[in-house]
């Protein structure tokens, strides 16, 4: 990973204690209820939450197409940080290309931090293209507005979920 490489970073502060937000990110039944872009409910959800473990999920947007993804956990520092490789996958969990963009990186190095501040929690997501070609890195950088939109919707869903539980 090139240290000068583009990083996509987005943060949101949630009106919930860090422990509650951490559990929403690290428990299978909770992830299923909020994770993903708006309008893409999860229909498959399996979490093996340990270093080397995998989160494998399937989503289905309103158009009926389904897509799959997986994370492979590299670091779990409860309740401060998760580090994982995120990628698109097939139903069996094999790595695949982005379903709508063949030049998207196969892997994204992902770090999610959880900072407590007076009973609230600031979540920061940091993504970098991982083991990517120059073309894939450029595509990742050019995709920042789409990632901003997707993560903003995901954070809205998390905010709603945290208010309900």
Task: Assign residue 119 a region (left: φ > 0; alpha: ψ between -120 and 50; beta: otherwise).
Answer: left
- Neighbour count for residue 123 (Cβ, 10 Å): 21
Question: H helices then E strands: how many in the chain?
Answer: 4, 7
- Reading the chain (165 residues) residue by residue, the pLDDT tens digits are 455 789 999 999 999 999 999 999 999 999 999 999 888 899 999 999 999 999 999 999 888 889 999 999 999 999 999 999 999 999 999 999 998 899 999 999 999 999 999 999 999 999 999 999 999 999 999 999 999 999 999 999 999 999 999
Predicted structure pTM score: 0.93
Helix (H, G, I), strand (E, B) or coil at 27: coil
Beta strand extents in 48-160 (DSSP E only): 54-59, 67-77, 81-89, 107-117, 120-130
CA–CA gap between residue 14 and residue 7 (Å, rounded): 23
Domains of the chain: 8-164 (3.30.530.20)
Quick check: bond before 79 cis, omega within 30? yes
């Amino acid at each position: 990973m090139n240290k000068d490489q583009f990083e996509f970073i987005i943060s949101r502060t949630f009106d919930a204690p860090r422990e509650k937000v951490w559990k929403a990110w690290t428990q299978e039944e909770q992830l299923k209820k909020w994770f993903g872009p708006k309008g893409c409910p999860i229909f498959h959800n399996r979490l093996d939450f340990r270093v080397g473990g995998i989160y494998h999920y399937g989503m289905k947007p309103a158009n009926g197409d389904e897509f799959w993804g997986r994370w492979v956990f590299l670091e779990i520092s409860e309740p401060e940080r998760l580090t994982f490789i995120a990628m698109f996958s097939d139903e069996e969990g094999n790595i695949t290309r982005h379903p709508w963009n063949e030049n998207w990186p196969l892997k994204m190095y992902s770090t999610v931090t959880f900072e407590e501040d007076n009973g609230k929690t600031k979540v920061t997501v940091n993504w970098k293209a991982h083991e990517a070609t120059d073309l894939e890195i450029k595509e990742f950088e050019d995709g920042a507005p789409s990632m901003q939109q997707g993560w903003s919707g995901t954070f809205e869903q998390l905010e709603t979920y945290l208010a309900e539980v």
